Chain A
Amino acid sequence: MSTVETKDFGMNRRSFLKSAGVSVAFAGSSLGFVSSGIAQETVLRAYGVTTAQMDDPSLISKATGIKLEFTPTDADIGVFMRDALANDIGETHDIMIFDGGTQDILGPQGFYAEIDETNPALDLWERTPDFWKKSDISVYDGKTYGVPILGNCDAFAYFADAIGANPNGQDEIPYSVLYEDDRTRGRVALDRVFSQSLACMANFLKVNGRLQIEDPANLTPEQAKAVVDYAVERKKAGTFRTLHNSFEEQVQLIQSREVDVLECWEPAVKEAEKTMKDEAPIYAYAVEGGKKWGHGAYIPKQALERGNGEAIYEVLNYFLGGEFRAYQARDRSYAGPNMDLGVEYAEKSGWSSEQVEELRATDKKISRKMSNPNAFWAKPTAPHAGVMEQEWQRFLSA
């Protein structure tokens, strides 16, 4: 293990020096970086959110013989859509990775290619459950545009003692602990992003029969207004301590125990567990389900015209396989299609039985959450997103 690391480090140093040299050349001559690709292996370029990036990118090269260069971006839908629509990212990149839902617009408009489900390199497609491959991550209007690579059902984290819940974490907790519980008033944190907090709040009002709402992720102007009115009222009542904006903030709010309950991503709890052990909060099974979402890998049309199809499908297939699944679940507690292959991989690669058990638990946990009938699918490109954003400003300014 250690020899591998030393070797990697040596390579990293070389590539660092090389890039330094290139950069110096850049300073002297023209304004453009020479891309430094080594010709021997196939190089593909991916553009997208960094969740899909492996901590150790050499794993993917070893498994597929393809080097995947990653241009990272934030989870900001506007930046992604702008780059896809106006920046011609497809001219330079072969795979795009983002929240499922972008295919609703980029598919019909011809930016994404349809997935060829019979491509021989995509041999894991057949065994991938319909729950994933026919989900909102992959499909729009009956056509498949994306390969699902991971997903989760977002809810909130809570400190059991603050709300008198069972510390084993198996209870279903209602969202009211976030919005209207006197025990937590002033010690609640919400996500600043409206597609998370406004949608979950709408779902809470919908499930509890207070508002007539069809799709919490895509509120009509009237519905958005009604939900924000409720949000403003709760804000004025002093319910919310803070709105957070990043993963770091979520972790910090937990570790410093600034709040008792917070809307957050599951990896934040995972991160806190590293040091807080038993004192870490619990990521909830919510009565109202939560927000189902997933990341998909999509193929920009131009990439196929460049003749990179073969290699692209190899990588997409890797995303469906055991190694990728096992590492994603271990590092971020996210599930995805074919977790059984992940378990198989972990067992074969000599992971500890504890780690293997954890993979199984992750799978079970996410199945339980995803199957909650109250849970709804995220819709990052919702047709009413503009209205929702505008209404949300009213809450922020209140």
Chain B
Amino acid sequence: MTALALSSPPRRRWRLPGTATGWFTGWFLLMWIGVVVLPLLIISTFSFFSMHQYQIVYDPTLATWTSLVDTGRWVVVLRTIRFAVSVTLLEILVAFPFALWLAKGCRSAAVRAGVITLLTIPFFIDASSRIIVWRSILGTNGVVNNLLVGSGLIDKPLAWLLYSDFSVSFGMFGSYFPTAVFPIFLTLSLIDDDLIKASFDLGASRLQTLRHVILPLAMPGIVGGIVFTFVPLMAAWIEPQLLGGGQVNLLGQSIQSALNNLNYPVAAALSTIVIAVLVLMLAVLVVSLRGRFKMSSLFQSVDG
């Protein structure tokens, strides 16, 4: 019966049950503009005002923008982008094979459930206490240095293990690994096993199957993984704060410091830069993928 119904080509346009598409989307847009777009527009105008004694002086000025250069806050933006890009790349490189194994290679359902659990649990734990622990592991008198010195591999503790670019990237890697794996795993597990089987049956090698079947289908997940990782990394705050030890000053801290002093204009200007960078990145991502993977078609494919 089902097969029969499926085989008769449905001509009429498919209708949503219950909730119509239009009014819900409209309602949502209205709400979202109210709580996101409007507040952001208001605060971004603050970058053209100044503060005096913790109160805003509504006199248009470019002082905030020029000060970004003098105070080196501009350098912080570049440094933050560098960190976000490199850590995101690393995450995806590690997360993809792992997600593939988890979705398709792992044969025990219990193991799979177990691994997903392990990936989710860290979010329950207060992030700063998770990160604080690294300091007692990586410090000059920490576990790693004690082991290395004790085993005679080195004779002086390695100082760069902590309060360095290394320790910050290291802390970030652990924190954002689950967010990279999750979306990739979801798309991979939705790929029909028969497709992969068909690819093999047609004589494709593993690598060919990966490149021409799995990778394109997994693309939404990979993009999701990149977004989930890169975006929070741009505003990462706990890792540089707790593992950077003042040697690694990133954007999140710079904004935090401005707001500590109730300096809305600087926070607004820095945030505007972040938003611009991220939107630019997204645009590049979409444009470069459009040619190859037809991202937009994914959203319309259900019409037929």
Contact = CB atoms under 8 A, between A and B. Distances in A.
Contacts of A389: 257-258, 260-261, 263
Interface size classification for chain A: 35 or more
A242 B246 contact: yes
Contacts of A167: none
B26 interface: no
B97 interface: no
Contacts of B141: 256-258
B54 A76 contact: no
A398 B249 CA distance: 9
A385 interface: yes
B85 interface: no
A390 interface: yes
Contact of A78 (B73, B132, B163, B260): B260
Interface residues of B, number: 37
B139 to A, nearest CB: 5
A256 B249 contact: no
Contacts of B266: 390
A394 B71 contact: yes
B254 A393 contact: yes
Contacts of A256: 135-136, 139-142
B245 interface: yes
Interface in A311-354: none
Interface string A174-205: 00000000000010011011000000000000
Given A82-B262, A85-B55, A248-B132, A190 B246 contact: yes
B51 A397 contact: no
A45 interface: no
25 contacts: A77-B260, A78-B259, A79-B260, A85-B54, A186-B159, A189-B245, A190-B246, A192-B246, A240-B246, A242-B163, A243-B246, A244-B245, A249-B132, A258-B139, A258-B140, A258-B141, A389-B257, A389-B261, A393-B257, A394-B70, A396-B249, A396-B254, A397-B73, A397-B76, A397-B249
Interface of B: 51, 53-55, 67, 70-73, 75-76, 132, 135-136, 139-142, 159, 162-163, 241-242, 245-247, 249, 253-254, 257-263, 266
Question: Which 4 pairs across A and B sit closest by C-beta, in order of nearness?
Answer: A243-B246, A242-B245, A397-B72, A78-B262
